[in-house]
Amino acid sequence: MSTTLAPAGSFVTDLSRRPASLAALAVANGLVTLAASAESAASSAPAAAAEADEDVIELATHTVEGSRAPQLASPKFNAPLLDTPQTVTVIPQSVFEEQAAASLRDILRNSPGITFQAGEGGTPAGDQMTIRGFSARTDMFIDGVRDLGGYSRDAFNLEQVEIAKGPSSATAGRGSTGGSVNLVTKAPQAVPFAQASAGIGTDDYRRATLDVNRPLTADHGTALRVNAMWQDAGVPGREGVDNTSWGVAPSLSVGLDRPTQLTFA
């Protein structure tokens, strides 16, 4: 080992000619120095973290709860609503019940792009509307079957309403360019329940509905459902004009616990 003179208080060695024991000692001293530096940094970390915590703004916690996206009941749409290349609006029963919508005209007010008419052009009375400026009088469907009747449709037997906007020849066949409206009626279910509602209002408005569902077999394979409605009301702003209507809609389903079901309505 060779040595050289250095200023007072220092000692310089040639590491290339050191014995193995001295080289190991030098490495150990280096590790000790590194560990001491790490300990010093760790001791200063809590102080830095405390200063950073003072600058952090805590936001209020919000919990968002929701249900699954609505599904199209029409078998002509064989893809999920998100993957359907068409503007489709699904209005479930819960929405128009909360709004106390008693007719199809009231339900369709939830969808933009629909304009209501009053029978202009010699067309019969009833639900007259245009979708995106095109008449949709003959583009009404009930459970996927075209409904050409010129009448005012009630909401007491509707499960949901599906509005498809734009050319729909692939799903609805021949029709207008504006779109189509499919009415999904209430069908029997495997669980028993009974619901009733009543309402009164101005212009002698009175309305009552009844919805009863009963399974007929122990294995819930067959069920019967009956919907009924009665309404008697005047017309706001018109004297001597009354509007009275009633309806009964029974339905029977077989095979609720099987892949294939048969429904009589």
The number of angstroms, rounded, from the C-alpha of 87 to the middle of its chain's C-alpha atoms is 15
- Dist CA 199 CA 206 (whole Å): 6
pLDDT confidence band for 124 (50 / 70 / 90): low
**pLDDT band with cut points at 50, 70 and 90 for residue 40:** low
Taking 90 as the threshold, does the pLDDT of residue 24 lie above it?
A: no
pLDDT band, very low/low/confident/very high, at 197 (cuts 50, 70, 90) = very high
Interval 139-161: pLDDT, tens = 899 998 888 888 889 999 999 99
Cα–Cα distance between 121 and 104 in angstroms, integer? 21
- Measured CA to CA, the distance from residue 111 to residue 129 in angstroms comes to 12
What integer is the mean pLDDT of 235-246?
A: 85
In angstroms, rounded to a whole number, what is the distance separating the alpha carbons of residues 142 and 155? 12
What is the CATH superfamily name and number for domain 81-185? TonB-dependent receptor, plug domain (2.170.130.10)
Q: Is the pLDDT of residue 36 over 50?
A: no
The stretch 192-207 carries a mean pLDDT of: 92
Based on C-alpha coordinates, what's the Rg of the chain? 38
Beta bridge pairs of residue 10: none
The domains of the chain are located at 3-54, 81-185, 193-264
Task: Decide if pLDDT at 198 tops 60.
Answer: yes
Tens digits of residue pLDDT in 156-177: 999 999 998 888 777 778 877 7
* pLDDT of amino acid 122: 61
> What pLDDT, on the 0 to 100 scale, is given for residue 155?
93
pLDDT band for 250, please (50, 70, 90 cuts): very high
Asked if pLDDT for residue 56 goes beyond 90, the answer is no
pLDDT category of residue 82 using cuts at 50, 70 and 90: confident
SS3 label, residue 104: helix
Q: Name the DSSP letter for residue 76.
A: T
The pair of three-digit structure tokens given for residue 77, joined into one six-digit string: 């749409």
* pLDDT recorded at residue 37: 52
27 has a pLDDT exceeding 60:
no
- Mean predicted lDDT score pLDDT of the chain: 79
Task: From residue 205, give the alpha-carbon distance in Å to each of 107, 141, 152, 158, 195.
Answer: 19, 29, 17, 21, 21
Burial class (CB in 10 A: 0-12, 13-18, 19+), 237: exposed
pLDDT at 22 over 50: no
Higher-pLDDT residue of 63 and 38 is 63
Mean pLDDT score, 181-185: 93
Residue 185, number of CB atoms within 10 A of its CB: 17
Question: Region 64-91: what's the mean pLDDT?
Answer: 78
